[in-house]
Structure formats: C-alpha cells, structure tokens
Amino acid sequence: MAEVTVNGTTRPLAGTPVHCTALDFLRGLGLTGAKEGCAEGECGACSVLVARPDGRDGAGSAWTALNSCLVPAAALDGQEVVTAEGLGDPGDLHPVQRELADRGGSQCGYCTPGFVCSMAAEYYRAGRRANGRADHEHGPNGFDLHALSGNLCRCTGYRPIRDAAWALGDPDVADPLAVRRTSPAPAPAATRLADGVGEFVRPASLAEALGLLAGHPDATVLAGATDVGVEVNLRGARPAYVVAVDRLPELRAVSLDPIQIGAALTLSEVERALDGAVPLLDRVWPQFASRLIRNGATIGGNLGTASPIGDLPPALLALEATLVLSSADGDREVPLAGYFTGYRETLLRPGELIRSVRVPRPLAGLTAFHKISKRRYDDISSVAVAVALDVTDGVVTRARIGLGGVAATPIRARATEAALEGRPWTEATADDAAAVLAGEGTPMDDHRASAAYRAAMLGQSLRKLWAEVAA
C-alpha cells in the first residue's frame, strides 16, 4: 500500500489525487510549515527534507532538500520526509531553528520553514567540515551558501540568515537525523496510483518501464518533476499517464573511465560522482538553477525537455557528448549535436528513454562556461556559451563551442570553431573568432535580454576567455 513516512509517522497516500503535489499533501496533513510561494521551484518556501541515497554504494543516506511544490505526492511512495515541524517545536528548537530565530533570520516568517529545511540539509551534509576554506560563499564551519541558493527571502536581505548558517556546529552524535544517515535510504517503491484524471506508475525496472512506454506512447516521463511540476502547477497540465523513471537502477549507473552518466542521476548526484573529473561541468553546477533544483532535476531530464536555454546542453555540446537511448527495441547511441531537431523537439521516439550520457576522453585542455543572466544564482540564462579548446604548441588543434539561448535549439558554433582551428592561440585569433561568434545563431528580443545584447555577449565570450587565460 502506498504510504509516506512524514516526521516519523506513516501516512497513507490512498485517496490522494494523482496530480496532488507533495506540498499540498503535507499541508493536507496539517503540516502547514511548508508554503507555496511560487509553485515553480524558484522560491524554496516549500522546501522539505527527503532521505536519499548518499552515493556511497547504497550504504548511507543524505538528507536532501527538495521543492515539495514540484514533486507529486505519489512520487514519494515509500520515502521518508521531514518538515520544519519534524525538526523541532517552539519549546525545543533544532539547532538550525535556534540560530535562525536568535539572529533575526526571520521577519515575516513565511519563507522561514523552507530556509530551515534547506539549511538543515547542509547542516547534515556528510562532507561539511570546518576546513579553513572560508570565503564569501563558505563559512568557517564548511557551510556552503549555495545550499540556500534556491530559497528567496523578501524581508531580511539574507545577512542574518548567512550568519545563522555559519554559526552552526556539528550535529550531536545522538541526533536521530544524524544517525539516520548511516543506514540506507528507502528503496524506491513500485507504485501504481490512479484517479479519474490520471495514473501514476513507478516501474521497478528499466524493462518494465520500456514495456509501459511501448504500451503508452503518449506517456509523460517523470524524473525530478522540475519541469513537469511547473506545467502542472502553472499551466494546468494534467498528464493522463505518468511513468516515473528517476529511481530506475539501470538509469543511475556512473563511471569515470569511460565517462558515462546515468540519465536518472540528479545534477547534485552527478556533481558528487564526477568529483571534479570534468572541469567544464564544474563551471556549470554553481550556475545551474539552485541546489534545491539540482537535488531533484536529472541530467536526462535536462536533455529530455530540450529547452533552448537549458544550462547543460551547451556544455555537453562542447564536450561532444553522446546519448544512449533505450527502447523496447534496444539501445542506440546518438551524438548530442544531432539530437535536437527543433524547438523542444528531439530524435527521441515515442517509447524511447535517455539511458545515459557519454563524454569522450580525452577532455579538452582549455574550457570555459559563460552564462549570461540577470541574477547570479538561480536564474535562467539569456545566453550561455561553453568553450572547449585543445591548444598544442600554441596552435588551436580542436575547438568545440556550444551555445544556448540564441536559436530554437542549443547549437554548436561551427563557423567559430572553424575560425579557431589551425590558428595560433593569440589575442588576434580570439578577436577574429569572437567576431564570427557574434554572428552565430539568431538571437531574439525577449524579457530576459535584447537580441543586440545576446549577440554582443556571444562576441564578448572569447575575448573574456582570452583575458581570463592571459590573467
């Protein structure tokens, strides 16, 4: 029977509408700490903690903050959730709650329970150490402010929230949530929930998933729900048949040599698993949405949704990534450069899933990622440029450049690549290629940026790269 463990108590999912969000489910239980602020995963007022695998061969779990407004309640079948109410109560505050309360970290209080949960996730992060790496984004206690990049506060200006985060010590050894980390996270539960509107199915294996997709070619494939959830909440989408693939073991494998990344790994998991193996991607992670989103969104989802302004495609294009696509008929491998066929259209056939992403070695020696946006954290790019260059004996031997935001799909800047290859890597070459790059794509005017600015940013990217390298 479908059920969720919330703050230690088992709660049945039976009777919950298929498209009910985890947020509405929790609030329906009377747990009104988690709030709706935007319903699209931008503000974090709905943040809750979920026990997820910590990436150590299934041995332990990590308290992972998620936007409960995006995740369907049905996707939490068998899982353990902790809300602000579960962390402490007014007479017995959790250390995170104590610091926030004492330091003026709440004013109106509406965003606060979400901040509490995001902050608690970082508080319990196994790798958090007072390691002397303190800078403007890392506290002396190892607290990474990016953990709060998906939470908005309109009252405080954030300084007292930062101070609270940086004042946190280590969890007590007897802290039950700290102890909980040492045992495995709940396994995904095979789930089938239906109401008159739709059906939610979580298959147990890839074979079962592909079988379901073969029988339901119009099915909505769900991973982290960071895109589908927005469609449901803001645009009234009510998909009739949802197949959840984010916990399929076959889609969660990862290897470094060769580099192969399972499509259902979340971006946070990919970041952790690669552990710096692909420097270009390390430039992308801090700028990719927010930690809350990266904890839910999967690499396969980012490619499956095929947005022209997604952050990963430009980087993966520059890395010459390929995709392994699976269907009931078997697997095939396609280059990412040929995968996007039109605005939000791809080579994916009905019934086909992205299984993994491969990145060929050797990796280019010189890489850069320039994302242009209004806000540094948690924003969508107006233009993104990813550059991967091999420079041998002062000559550009290979150039791969991926662009986002300047065409109906992510594209390769092939004319610019040609203008670079075989030329000496000099400022003059960078300038000449920059002029070519400024003419790539067909940038548009919209609310994020003007076409002129987008074109200008293309033109500046290689100049900026040159200046960074020269510095």
Partner 1 sequence: MRASVGLPLTHESAALHVTGAALFTDDLVLRTPRLLHAHPVQAPHAHARVTRLDVAPAYDVPGVVRVLTAADVPGVNDAGIKQDEPLFPDEVMYRGHAVCWVLGETLEAARLGAAAVQADYDVLPAIVSVTDAITAESFQGARPTVERGDVEAALASAAHVFSGVTEMAGQEHFYLETHASLALVDEAGQVFVQSSTQHPTETQEIVAHVLGRHSHDVTVQCLRMGGGFGGKEMQPHGFAAVAALGATLTGRPVRLRLTRQQDITMTGKRHGFHATWQVGFDEGGCLQALDVTLTSDGGWSLDLSEPVLARALCHVDNAYWIPHVRAHGRVARTHKTSQTAFRGFGGPQGMLVIEDILGRCAPRLGVDPMELRRRNFYVEGQSTPYGQPVRHPERAGLAWDQVVVEGRVRERLAEVEAFNAAHPHTKRGLAVTPVKFGISFNFTAFNQAGALVHVYKDGSVLINHGGTEMGQGLHTKMIQVAATALGVPLERVRLAPTRTDKVPNTSATAASSSADLNGGAVKDACDQILARLEGVAGDTWEERVRSAYLQRIQLWAAGFYRTEGIHWDAALMSGHPFKYFAYGAAAAEVEVDGFTGAYTTRRVDIVHDVGDSLSPLVDVGQIEGGFVQGAGWLTLEDLRWDDADGRLLTQAASTYKLPSFSEMPPELHVTLLPMAHEDGAVYGSKAVGEPPLMLAFSVREALRQAAAAFGPPGTSVELASPATPEAVYWALERARSSAEVLVR
Residue 90 or 362 with smaller CB distance to partner 1: 90
The DSSP call for residue 117 is H
180: left (phi over 0), alpha (psi -120 to 50) or beta: alpha
Closest separation between CB of residue 116 and partner 1, Å? 6
Closest separation between CB of residue 325 and partner 1, Å? 29
Amino acid identity of residue 331, one-letter, is D
Closest separation between CB of residue 230 and partner 1, Å? 8
Cβ–Cβ under 8 Å, residues 56 and 74: no
Closest separation between CB of residue 430 and partner 1, Å? 12
* C-alpha span between 294 and 167 (Å, rounded): 25
State the Cα angle at 189 between 331 and 254, rounded to 5°: 40
Residue 87 or 274 with smaller CB distance to partner 1: 87
Upper half-sphere CA count for residue 75 (Cβ side, 13 Å): 30
Residue 54 or 99 with smaller CB distance to partner 1: 99
* Owner of token pair 């992403």: 357
Residue 151 or 416 with smaller CB distance to partner 1: 151
Residue 135 or 257 with smaller CB distance to partner 1: 135
Residue 93 or 256 with smaller CB distance to partner 1: 93
Closest separation between CB of residue 433 and partner 1, Å? 15
Residue 265 or 309 with smaller CB distance to partner 1: 309
Among 278, 452, 273, which residue's Cα sits nearest to residue 359? 278
Cβ–Cβ under 8 Å, residues 285 and 322: no
* Owner of token pair 């990963």: 312
* C-alpha span between 147 and 290 (Å, rounded): 8
Closest separation between CB of residue 287 and partner 1, Å? 10
Largest CA distance in the chain: 69
Closest separation between CB of residue 177 and partner 1, Å? 15
Among 117, 100, 107, which residue's Cα sits nearest to residue 161? 100
